[in-house]
Amino acid sequence: MFLIMISAMMSLTVAMLMMMGCTMISKNSKKDREKMSPFECGFDPKSSARTPFSIQFFLIAVLFLIFDIEIAIMLPIILTMKWSMNSKWIITIFIFIITLIMGLYYEWSNGVLEWAK
């Protein structure tokens, strides 16, 4: 138990030292107009670089990533089920799919997936 406490304290100390070092190193110099403006091949920008984008596009992209990762997680599980037909695998996959379907239904019922309002 004492060894665990010592290693936890050492890791916290190293993490705090690294955070303090990064804070000291990353102090910004004077921010003038030229440094803060976007660079477009030496010309003045024609429009603002901070244009807003559709939040629905962002939500659809996040939803795509979630289901893409779901496929990447489920394919190895399906392949390993051939060698070991274990009820724990089936329960795990079932809970995983139900959780994703519930999340999709929640987003669908809140109207997140509708483009035109």
Percent of the chain with pLDDT over 70: 73
The reply to whether the predicted model has a pTM over 0.85 is: no
Q: Is 43 helix (H, G, I), strand (E, B) or coil?
A: strand
CA–CA separation, 58 and 60 (whole Å): 5
Greatest Cα pair distance in the chain: 65
For the beta carbon of residue 104, count every other beta carbon within 10 angstroms.
15
Beta partners for residue 43, in sequence order: 40
- Of 29-33, 57-61, 63-67, the least confident: 29-33
Average pLDDT, the chain: 78
Confidence bin at 47 (pLDDT 50/70/90) = low
Write down the pLDDT at residue 63.
Answer: 81
Which of the 8 DSSP states describes residue 45?
P
| pLDDT tens, position by position, 20-37 | 988 888 766 555 556 666
Residue 62 in tokens = 């996040």
CA–CA separation, 63 and 48 (whole Å): 29
* Residue 61, amino acid: A
* Contact yes or no for 74/96 (Cβ under 8 A): yes
Q: Is 115 helix (H, G, I), strand (E, B) or coil?
A: coil
Examine the pLDDT at 48 and tell me if it is beyond 60.
Answer: yes
Q: Please tell me which residue, 43 or 99, carries the higher pLDDT value.
A: 99
